[in-house]
Amino acid sequence: MVHGLEAMTDEFLADALAYLGAPEPDAVLILQHAGGQRGKRLLDAARSAGIPMVACDPLKRDTEKVDFVAAEMRRAGRRIDAGGARALVDALGSDLRELAAAGAQIVADTSGPISADVVARYYGGRVEATAFRVADAAIAGEAGNAVALLRHAMATGADPVPLVAALAMKLRTLAKVAGARGRGLDAHRDLGLAPWQVDRARRELARWTPESLAAAIGAVAQADAEVKGAGRDPAFAVERAVLRIAAQAKR
């Protein structure tokens, strides 16, 4: 497999065009082009020669990544529930190769339906998953648990910026769902949120008032500025934001 055709040299282009004219019958050559004009001559030549081409458009929305995970599991003959697929995406981020490899590992090592708890046993230590667990605990008003998770994350190398981003994402979802409810909108249809996100946000909003939600968003905005250079101690800024958020949630 040849990666990075968009950065090919003139020499490679000449060799590849020559190979297209007389390919080895027993060999399979995969060429990967990430886009752009460079190398277009080779792509056009391959298309004219009838070489199969597969468009691999990036998956930008979280719902698309969750669907990708579910499809990978179906292909492997296993079922993963919505929470498990969401947890795997949270843990591995946006790299589809990592998601596919992680799914294959879980399939090989487990049996039965795959849930969020199963995913957490394998990838619970990943920065992204830790960040969302911190956010979940803070939103639930569990200050002690949130701070413990946060300190563990920081001790194992988590960067403050994605931790604050996870807090902001959670609060932003709550605000969207609350706003949609107040304006008579459908959060799933009109805001592009997944049904499970809407259902969870509605349950979590039972702890929140518009005033407390605004205060929590303000705390995250301050932390965001501080972890990006406006403050001297990013770790302290995140912990203070977590405590302020947890204090706003009704227990």
Q: Where are the alpha helices (DSSP H) in the chain?
A: 10-21, 40-48, 62-75, 82-92, 96-109, 116-123, 127-139, 143-155, 160-183, 187-191, 195-204, 210-225, 234-248
pLDDT over 70 (residue 63): yes
pLDDT over 60 (residue 179): yes
- 99 and 135 in a common domain: no
Q: What is the dihedral of CA 99, 102, 107, 111, to 10 degrees?
A: -110
Residue 31: DSSP 8-state: B
Instruction: Place 248 in a pLDDT band, splitting at 50, 70 and 90.
Output: very high
Q: Which residue has the higher pLDDT, 101 or 215?
A: 215
Sign of the CA dihedral 146, 160, 213, 231? positive
Q: Which residue has the higher pLDDT, 120 or 184?
A: 120
Residues 126-139 have a mean pLDDT of: 77
pLDDT over 90 (residue 194): no
Q: What is the CATH number of the domain that holds 157?
A: 1.20.272.10
Instruction: Place 185 in a pLDDT band, splitting at 50, 70 and 90.
Output: low
pLDDT over 80 (residue 93): no
Average pLDDT score, the chain: 85
Q: Which domain holds residue 109?
A: 62-123
User: What 3-state DSSP class applies to 9?
Assistant: coil
- 142 and 75 in a common domain: no
- 214 and 138 in a common domain: yes
The pTM score is 0.51
CB of 174 within 8 A of CB of 182? Answer: no
- 232 and 145 in a common domain: yes
Instruction: Place 79 in a pLDDT band, splitting at 50, 70 and 90.
Output: very high
Residues 206-212 have a mean pLDDT of: 91
Domain assignment present for 105: yes
- 98 and 42 in a common domain: no
Rounded Cα distance between 206 and 199, Å, is 12
- 141 and 228 in a common domain: yes
Instruction: Place 127 in a pLDDT band, splitting at 50, 70 and 90.
Output: very low
Domain assignment present for 54: no
- Cα-based angle 211, 62, 154 (whole degrees, multiple of 5): 65
pLDDT of 120 reads 79
pLDDT of 143 reads 92
Q: Of 63-77, 128-142, 208-222, 227-241, where does mean pLDDT reach its minimum? A: 128-142
Q: Of 46-55, 165-174, 239-248, where does mean pLDDT reach its minimum? A: 46-55
pLDDT of 121 reads 79
Rounded Cα distance between 83 and 89, Å, is 10
% of the chain exceeding 70 in pLDDT? 91
